[in-house]
């Protein structure tokens, strides 16, 4: 079951009382609908005016697990459950009266669910340090053939020893590959699976030449990055 928090400042009044064993409560205003298996953790509470101040004198956490009109199905605390769905939000079921309140609140278990940032960023004494960005390095496949091999990285090196056709048909949407082509001034390089060149012109290759191919979701587009003899 997934706990939901989809409303700010939700609060409503009970329209009738419930016992400490009831699992349905009727309210004046129902919360937003829930998906199958989802729930809200809410607080039943009663307030009194003490010395001119509004004071909470009674409370109980309940899980709202289903909503039918203004009738809410609630799950109440039960000891000994495994796994325990309540964690730090233990409260004993009590009786409630019409005009007591039901509120969506932040609980101790809500805060327990916030991950420890030290697991994601470097810290010192609990203080986040400047995040270190790890340099991205991708393997250059020095033995690449004319068949695209994404398993060895997105940077390929193709040394031509004969007229060759480069097969780009396995390049998937969103993927790119760069080629360092050696020998293109001696041998011809053709292309299978290529949609268009970005400038609509097939490049004349130098002895060392760089090409890039990317699948833009519609087709594979080639980019001539230039080269030298």
Q: What pLDDT shows up at residue 6? A: 74
Look at strands 127-128 and 123-124 and give their pairing. antiparallel
Is 10 in the same domain as 95?
Answer: yes
Q: What pLDDT shows up at residue 143? A: 54
Q: For the stretch 32-48, what's the b/e string if a residue is b when 16 or more beta carbons lie within 10 angstroms of its beta carbon?
A: eebeeeebbbbbbbbee
Is 170 in the same domain as 93?
Answer: no
The Cα 19–Cα 25 span in angstroms is: 10
Look at strands 155-159 and 71-76 and give their pairing. unpaired
- pLDDT per position as a tens digit, 166-214: 988 888 888 888 899 999 999 999 999 999 999 999 999 999 999 999 9
Instruction: With respect to residue 43, please indicate whether it lies within any of the assigned structural domains.
Output: yes
Is 16 in the same domain as 106?
Answer: yes
31 in Cβ contact with 67 (< 8 Å): yes
Is 153 in the same domain as 59?
Answer: no
- pLDDT per position as a tens digit, 46-60: 999 999 999 999 999
Is 162 in the same domain as 219?
Answer: yes
Q: 130: cis peptide before it, omega within 30°?
A: no
Domain span at 65: 2-115
Q: What pLDDT shows up at residue 64? A: 95
Instruction: With respect to residue 132, please indicate whether it lies within any of the assigned structural domains.
Output: no
- pLDDT per position as a tens digit, 65-75: 999 999 999 99
> Which spans in the chain are helix H?
108-112
Is 104 in the same domain as 148?
Answer: no
Q: 83: cis peptide before it, omega within 30°?
A: yes
Smallest Cα–Cα separation from 37: which of 73, 12, 91, 86?
73
The Cα 64–Cα 40 span in angstroms is: 5
Is 106 in the same domain as 152?
Answer: no
Q: What pLDDT shows up at residue 144? A: 55
Number of structural domains found in the chain: 2
Burial class from Cβ neighbours inside 10 Å (0-12, 13-18, 19+) for residue 205 reads buried
The Cα 165–Cα 3 span in angstroms is: 55
Is 172 in the same domain as 215?
Answer: yes
Q: What pLDDT shows up at residue 170? A: 83
Instruction: With respect to residue 65, please indicate whether it lies within any of the assigned structural domains.
Output: yes
Q: What pLDDT shows up at residue 80? A: 85
Is 153 in the same domain as 106?
Answer: no
Instruction: With respect to residue 120, please indicate whether it lies within any of the assigned structural domains.
Output: no
The Cα 175–Cα 9 span in angstroms is: 45
43 in Cβ contact with 61 (< 8 Å): yes
The Cα 124–Cα 131 span in angstroms is: 12
Instruction: With respect to residue 179, please indicate whether it lies within any of the assigned structural domains.
Output: yes
- pLDDT per position as a tens digit, 105-162: 888 887 776 766 666 666 677 666 665 556 555 555 555 556 665 555 578 888 899 9
Structure tokens at 199: 């400038």
């Amino acid at each position: 079951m997934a706990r939901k928090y989809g409303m700010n400042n939700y609060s409503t009044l009970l329209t009738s009382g419930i016992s400490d064993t009831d699992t349905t409560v009727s309210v004046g205003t129902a919360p937003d609908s829930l998906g199958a298996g989802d729930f809200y953790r809410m607080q039943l509470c009663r307030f009194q005016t003490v010395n001119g101040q509004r004071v909470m004198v009674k409370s109980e956490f309940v899980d709202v697990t289903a909503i039918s009109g203004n009738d809410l199905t609630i799950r109440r605390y039960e000891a000994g459950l495994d796994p325990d769905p309540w964690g730090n939000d233990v409260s004993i079921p009590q009786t409630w009266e019409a005009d007591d309140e039901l509120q969506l609140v932040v609980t101790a278990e809500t805060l327990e669910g916030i991950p420890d940032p030290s697991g994601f960023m470097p810290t010192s004494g609990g203080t986040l340090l400047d995040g270190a960005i790890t340099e991205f390095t991708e393997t250059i496949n020095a033995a690449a053939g004319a068949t695209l091999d994404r398993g060895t990285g997105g940077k390929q090196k193709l040394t031509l020893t004969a007229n060759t056709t480069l097969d780009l048909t396995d390049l998937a949407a969103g993927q790119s590959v760069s080629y360092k082509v050696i020998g293109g001034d001696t041998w011809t390089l053709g292309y299978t699976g290529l949609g268009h060149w970005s400038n609509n012109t097939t490049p004349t290759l130098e002895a060392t030449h760089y090409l890039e191919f990317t699948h833009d979701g519609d087709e594979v587009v080639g980019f001539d990055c230039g080269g030298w003899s």
